[in-house]
Structure 1
Amino acid sequence: MRADRLVSLVLLLRQRGRMSAATLARELEVSTRTVLRDIEALSAAGVPVYAERGRHGGFALLPSFQTELTGLNHDEALALLVAGSRRGAQAFGLGSALASAMLKVVDALPEGYRDTAAGAAQRLLIDPETDLLSRRVVAEEVPDIVVAEIRRAVFAGHKLRIHYAAVDQAPKWRTVDPIGLVTVREQGYLLATRSGVDRTYRLSRVLAAEELHEPAQRPEQVDLGRAWQERSTRFRTGGDQVVVLVRVNPARREDLVGTALAVRAEETDADGWLRLDVTFQDSRHAEWALWQLATNAEALAPQWLRTSLRNRAVAIATRYSGSS
């Protein structure tokens, strides 16, 4: 890992020129002390890196220095294959590999193309962390050591032990046959089988993972898109799902539909509001979705949902009825 970091350090200095130790530390996700040790190691190896002191000082390479250290390692090549979504790379624990790979790709470009590409890249922003209303997109955090172990088992075709915390259950160990990894809306999933039965595990709920030496029982070829679609269909049509009759302001229809599993029926009332039969994953999902819409929606049925929403509203009103 240190060798990859040293290569990245050299490429950063080649592409950006003089950089401070603090800036290098942020880019490489290490401490400033580690950067200084790496600079010493590069100097000892004959790389012409020098320091400039002062307010605008930092480290730089001699202008004539060239390097051919642009070969991609396995993880970096894999990161580029999923680079259509940078967050997809993050979900699979490949964020740092993607950053390192992109440095190598840029460094391999002819000098004229490199400058053009760098200028164009400054004009593009993909998937910012907040939207226009400053709502932050929260990606699920999965420890790199956990997702790396899962990734190795998936690629090697080995069985996998995971310490998994299912909803409303105590965490326990499971041995599964991994099939593939999927990322959807900032959430990563492991598709697997357990005792021959399809299983889908959310990566953020995997507390620990261990690749086993035993070969996984799985087909040689897999169509992940089709497998995901089949599991999504089973998910939408099974379990503790509830159907809710809702009146919603047309301006907020997409907000409602975007949180639901399916819309079974829809019509327009005389006042212009929409009346929909909507399916939710369970009672908690239904209550949460309707609560987000406040007075822009009304649950007409079932009665238990109306009562639950009313009780929550009364509790909030009571809390704020007096002075602070």
Structure 2
Amino acid sequence: MSKADYMLSILWMLQQRKRTAAELAEALELSVRSVYRYIDALCASGVPVIADAGPGGGFRLPEHFSAAPLFFDDDERRALVQAAAFAEGSGYPYIGALGSAIAKLKRYSNDEQLLQMQRHESGMEMLHAPSVPLTPLLAELEACAAAGLTVQMEYRKSSGQAASRRSVDPYGLVHWKGRWYVAGFCHQRGEIRSFRVDRIGQLERSGGVFIRPEGFSARQFLLDGLLPGPDQQAALVRVVIASGEEVLNDLCSHWLFGHSLAQRSPGEAVFLLDETMLLRYAPYFLLPYGRSLQIIEPAALKRKLAAAAADISAYYTES
């Protein structure tokens, strides 16, 4: 057996009852010296093996050890505490359970492991935009998506509009730009659609069930709705923007420009954008950059940007 197999075997035997080193050695056909070596390795990995000396002594585990996390290495512990930092503030519905899991991980770690986790935990933090608490809605939608349960919900398309009631098969949730969306089959429309969770009012299970399409991705569905597909490539407009590397890097990190980058060279970037997206979103994203960038082409984007700047100027001049 491998070292890991021997360690697991010792662990399972100790979970049953207290054992002496001689008993463990005989059961596993090992030397007593090897047993001590494997027990030392278990302790180093965070397993709280207790050694009782004297007559009737031996090795044992705490009674509550069945709930302890096992065999996490340094990288895994670091990843867990830092992932919790990313989730907190995003509206993740199970942040309480995640916090409990991290607390349990710390509880069953030795002093050196705990110090390492605290260092990594304090070395990475996240800033999240304030958002409406959606924990009950997100938890219910996630549970229904996992179980394949149809929901009835009241949904308003935008602020000020009356809510409509519809039946939806929730396929999955996606977090994008500080908001949560649920993608699924809308029985009212007869097609897959995405819905902003903060616009959902009353939500309840309808009693219906569904099977999620194989390989469906809520993230990809939302992205496909924002960006042109392969069949639209011929209609894309070439956009050439010149600027310094810092501005171009910032531009390429934007959801629209980043996914439509066609070519990047020092001082210049070429994008392929759908015309609707180009004239509806691009001018208002580019406007704050002012003279720090130059639109080489197309002329239509230059005119749209100039018109947007003129409208804003006129609005504040009149007021």
The verdict on how the C-alpha distance between 1:282 and 1:150 changes in structure 2, with shifts beyond 3 A counting, is: farther
Structure 2 match to 1:147: 138
In terms of Rg, which structure is larger? 2
The verdict on how the C-alpha distance between 1:159 and 1:180 changes in structure 2, with shifts beyond 3 A counting, is: same
Deviations 1:135-192 (A, max 9, x none): xx42643422221221221233210123333368934232111122233454433231
Deviations 1:39-59 (A, max 9, x none): xxxxxxxxxxxxxxxxxxxxx
Structure 1 match to 2:104: 104
Structure 1 match to 2:167: 175
Gaps of 5+ in 1: 1-65, 73-79, 130-136
For 1:213 and 1:298, how far apart are their aligned partners in 2? 57
The equivalences for 1:171-320 within 5 A come to 171-184=163-176, 186-195=178-187, 197-219=191-213, 222-224=214-216, 228-229=219-220, 232-233=223-224, 235-237=226-228, 243=237, 245-251=239-245, 252-259=247-254, 260-261=256-257, 262-263=259-260, 265-266=262-263, 273-274=267-268, 276-279=270-273, 281=277, 283-299=279-295, 305-317=301-313
The verdict on how the C-alpha distance between 1:265 and 1:105 changes in structure 2, with shifts beyond 3 A counting, is: closer
Q: Structure 1 length as normaliser, TM-score?
A: 0.56
CA shift, 1:249, in A, is: 0.2
Helix, strand or coil at the partner of 1:91? coil
As a proportion of its length, which structure holds more helix?
Answer: 2
Helix, strand or coil at the partner of 1:179? strand
CA shift, 1:316, in A, is: 4.8
Structure 2 match to 1:160: 151
Helix, strand or coil at the partner of 2:124? coil
CA shift, 1:86, in A, is: 4.2
The equivalences for 1:27-66 within 5 A come to none
Report if the CA contact (8 A) 1:245-1:278 is conserved: yes
Report if the CA contact (8 A) 1:248-1:296 is conserved: no
For 1:201 and 1:314, how far apart are their aligned partners in 2? 34
Deviations 1:228-282 (A, max 9, x none): 436634541169x9746343204222222322254365476xxx74262441636
Report if the CA contact (8 A) 2:261-2:269 is conserved: no
Report if the CA contact (8 A) 1:150-1:210 is conserved: no
Report if the CA contact (8 A) 1:140-1:204 is conserved: no
Report if the CA contact (8 A) 2:150-2:207 is conserved: yes
> How much identity, in percent, do the aligned residues show?
19
More displaced, 96-105 or 255-264? 255-264
Over aligned residue pairs, what C-alpha RMSD do you find? 4.2
Report if the CA contact (8 A) 1:246-1:276 is conserved: yes
For 2:111 and 2:239, how far apart are their aligned partners in 1? 61
- Paired residue type of 1:104: K
For 1:242 and 1:207, how far apart are their aligned partners in 2? 38
Q: Does 1:125 align with 2:124?
A: yes
- Paired residue type of 1:284: R
For 1:230 and 1:265, how far apart are their aligned partners in 2? 22
CA shift, 1:193, in A, is: 1.7
CA shift, 1:218, in A, is: 3.1
Report if the CA contact (8 A) 2:239-2:298 is conserved: yes
- Paired residue type of 1:290: L
Report if the CA contact (8 A) 1:83-1:98 is conserved: no
Structure 1 match to 2:36: none
